[in-house]
Amino acid sequence: MTTLAQNVGEQTLFSRTGGAPSLALGMAHIFASSGGGQAVIGFWYHFAIMFEALFILTIIDAGTRVGRFMLQDLLGHVSAPLGRTSWMPGVIGSSAAVVAAWGYFLVQGVRDPLGGINSLWPLFGISNQLLASIALCVATTILLEDAWGEISCGSPCAPMVWLVSATFTAAWQKIFSPLPAIGFLAQAEKLEAALQAGSAADVAATQTLIFNARLDAAICGIFMVLVSVILLDSIRVWAGILSGNGDRQVHEAPFVVSRLQAEEL
């Protein structure tokens, strides 16, 4: 590890946030093998580190804004001012709620080495693909409501069906699989059995792992429920449009030519 650190111009590769050097070093070796060899491995390593940092920051930024918009849209049904994106108390309050949600895992990662990214990472793939399913669901709805109609709505609908079926199957397995290596609840039961039998090497760490596994199961279940609600309501809208009983009306903001483009025209 000392030699690897020296090759990329670092003093150490240990105790770095999120284990980023492991991925960055692997990417650097792949890129360096295509040309340049050890002479450029340090450059590719820091390029990969920068890529990881920008990827994480943009994901958090975009996810926070999307979460805030969705939360405000939901709260707007309770109180009209909360749904207005121009009302600063609603914007600040909903943003704080979303930041607190992912901030919990960030704080846990600092306070507890077994928390944070270690507990959140198993949910990353599922949440990422469920978000893609929602995007395809929205695209299908817009195409059905727009002038493109039934002809073009199949382009996002077909991959959405596959994505939803595959991701929901994976999410179900992650929660209810009897294999401790796969299922969150099975893993928690195995650790709890070891704790009760007195065979756990570290009682405090085992209790933390049990809590994290059950937390992952709960969050994964919440994800599935929320996406199911969106899909079921979308299917209701689609059925109404296709049967002629629904209102085919686009609620997207109309296209407005920018001042710069208007001057060019």
Write the secondary structure of the chain as one string of H (helix), E (strand) and C (coil).
CHHHHHHCCCCCCCCCHHHHHHHHHHHHHHHHHCCCHHHCHHHHHHHHHHHHHHHHHHHHHHHHHHHHHHHHHHHCCCCHHHHCCCCHHHHHHHHHHHHHHHHHHHHHHHHCCCCCHHHHHHHHHHHHHHHHHHHHHHHHHHHHHCCCHHHHCHHHHHHHHHHHHHHHHHHHHHHHCCCCCCCHHHHHHHHHHHHHHCCCCCHHHHHHHHHHHHHHHHHHHHHHHHHHHHHHHHHHHHHHHHHCCCCCCCCCCCCCCCHHHHHHC
Which tens digits make up the pLDDT trace of 98-145? 999 888 877 877 777 676 667 777 787 888 888 889 888 888 888 877
14-69 pLDDT, tens per residue? 766 555 677 788 888 888 887 777 778 888 888 888 888 787 788 888 888 888 98
> pTM surpassing 0.95?
no
Within a domain: residue 40? no
Domain count, the chain: 1
Q: Is residue 28 part of a domain?
A: no
Q: Is residue 260 part of a domain?
A: yes
- Structure confidence at residue 184 as a pLDDT band (50, 70, 90): very high
Domain that holds residue 187: 114-265
Task: Kindly report, residue by residue over 67-110, the tens digit of the pLDDT.
Answer: 898 899 889 989 888 888 888 999 999 999 999 988 887 787 77
Q: Is position 32 within any domain?
A: no
Is 29 within a domain? no
187 belongs to a structural domain: yes
Residue 168 is assigned to a structural domain of this protein: yes
Instruction: Indicate whether 119 belongs to any domain.
Output: yes
